[in-house]
Amino acid sequence: MFPSILKSSKPKPPPQNFRASRPEQPVELAEQDVWALPPNVYWAATAPANKPAPNWLRMVCISDTHNTTDANNYPVPEADILVHAGDFTKMGTTAQIDQFICWLKSLTHIPIKVVVAGNHEVILDKEFYEKHWHRFHTTKEDHETAVNKLKSAGHGIIYLNNEPYTVDGAKLLHKKHQKQKKQSSTNITTKHVDTTGVADMDIDAPAVLDPREGWVEGYRIWASPWQPEFWEWAFNEVRGKLKDIWKHIPEDTDILMTHGPPKYHGDIVPQDKELHVGCEELLERLKVVRPLYHVFGHIHQGYGVSEIEWDGGSHSTVCINASSCTESYRPLNRPIIVDLPPK
Ligand code: 5GP
Ligand code: MN
Ligand code: MN
Ligand code: MN
């Protein structure tokens, strides 16, 4: 019934279902490159032009863009929300953060852009930068300035650091309506309207919602830049000690964003003797939180989608490694699109 979409360009027979696994089931290297996707998840190039219905939420997932997207015209399809799972700069300088913000602002076809840092955004990890700035930058830059650039960027940019964000459908619609109004008002002559006795319109008030567009309840996101230690970069924590971070992931999280993968999902580094380098403690927390989606990056080779089935498949977590850059830091992996039904 659903099209079989293959990650691999190699023509191999498609499996009947997309790759699913129990929480502790390692994935063999041979199976890595072929599987079909869940019915509402798409590689950008093969996504239908429209959402199944206007009241669905289209989410586009990217990660690990490393300041390569602008020069390469990296294509980002139209969506309601973009999520970026970290490593948006090459080396975390203020200028590179500016460059990234500038690129995000150019995505005017997506009203909300939720961003978390990765290990390359060294300036955003205050404690780390204080100690190690000279390993990355020739002159020391200001941590607060860099953080404030992201926090005050506007244009729907939401920077999260171990914190939640609820997708506000009303706000999204309001923005959309304002944009439409702006576009249509260009050819309309303004008429004086007597507002006596009418309360001033609060421009931040939610627009009157068409029930068909009512994804007002909002999906709950929670995002963290932390990952298991690898060569002493920002937001690194030694394996075995990340439990204290993951315990803050709220149990009602719908969409979890972390820079790094959980163990066994989008986490294969073929050269490593461990093979699966994802965070074991993050997997442990997933077993409790069981979000609908887990979006991450960091392990560029792990780009792709898999699913963890809970309780014998009655519900699941779809794991999305959205690394846009390949192992050689070229932005060749397309965004991954998810169409979410109204909550
Ligand atoms: P980045 O430097 O962009 O954070 O990570 C890029 C690459 O570093 C990954 O694609 C992967 O090859 C490697 N890498 C990152 N973390 C780990 C890890 O924990 N173990 C191993 N073996 N490689 C890693
Ligand atoms: Mn990266
Ligand atoms: Mn839950
Ligand atoms: Mn990384």
Please determine, for residue 11, whether its predicted confidence score (pLDDT) is greater than 90: no
> Using a 6 Å cutoff on CB, does residue 230 contact ligand 1?
yes
Query: pLDDT tens digits, residue range 300-339?
Result: 998 888 888 888 778 899 999 999 999 999 999 999 999 9
Within a 10 A sphere around the Cβ of 230, how many other Cβ atoms? 14
> Using a 6 Å cutoff on CB, does residue 269 contact ligand 1?
yes
Res 306: pLDDT? 87
145 against 178, higher pLDDT: 145
What token pair was written down for 296? Answer: 């991450």
> Using a 6 Å cutoff on CB, does residue 209 contact ligand 1?
no
Please determine, for residue 10, whether its predicted confidence score (pLDDT) is greater than 80: no
Res 216: pLDDT? 47
Res 207: pLDDT? 42
Low-confidence winner among 92-106, 182-196, 223-237 (lowest mean pLDDT): 182-196
Res 45: pLDDT? 81
Please determine, for residue 276, whether its predicted confidence score (pLDDT) is greater than 80: yes
Res 19: pLDDT? 58
Over residues 120-149, the mean pLDDT reads 98
Superfamily of structural domain 37-176+216-340: Metallo-dependent phosphatases (3.60.21.10)
* Residue among 266, 302, 308 at smallest CA distance from 287: 308
Res 24: pLDDT? 65
For Cα atoms 240, 222, 110, give the angle at the middle one, nearest 5 degrees. 135
CA of 89 to the centre of ligand 2 (A): 9
Please determine, for residue 63, whether its predicted confidence score (pLDDT) is greater than 80: yes
CA of 298 to the centre of ligand 2 (A): 5
163 against 2, higher pLDDT: 163
Alpha carbons within 13 angstroms on the beta-carbon side of residue 123 total 25
Please determine, for residue 197, whether its predicted confidence score (pLDDT) is greater than 50: no
* DSSP letter, residue 80: S
The DSSP bridge partners found for residue 294 are: 256, 319
**AA letter at 261:** P
Please determine, for residue 81, whether its predicted confidence score (pLDDT) is greater than 90: yes
52 against 185, higher pLDDT: 52
The domain locations on the chain are 37-176+216-340
Pocket test for ligand 1, best of 300, 327, 328, 329 (most atoms within 8 A of CB): 300
Res 238: pLDDT? 98
* Burial class of residue 237 in the structure, from the number of CB atoms within 10 Å of its CB (0-12 exposed, 13-18 middle, 19+ buried): middle
Query: pLDDT tens digits, residue range 25-41?
Result: 666 555 555 567 888 99
> Using a 6 Å cutoff on CB, does residue 299 contact ligand 1?
yes
Res 55: pLDDT? 81
Please determine, for residue 88, whether its predicted confidence score (pLDDT) is greater than 80: yes
CA of 253 to the centre of ligand 3 (A): 6
Q: Which long-range contacts (CB under 8 A, 24 or more apart) does 204-211 make?
A: 204/174, 205/174, 206/170, 206/171, 206/173, 206/174, 207/170, 207/173, 207/174, 207/177, 209/169, 209/170, 209/173
Backbone angles phi, psi at 223, to 5 degrees: -135, 140
> Using a 6 Å cutoff on CB, does residue 210 contact ligand 1?
no
Over residues 231-259, the mean pLDDT reads 97
**AA letter at 254:** D
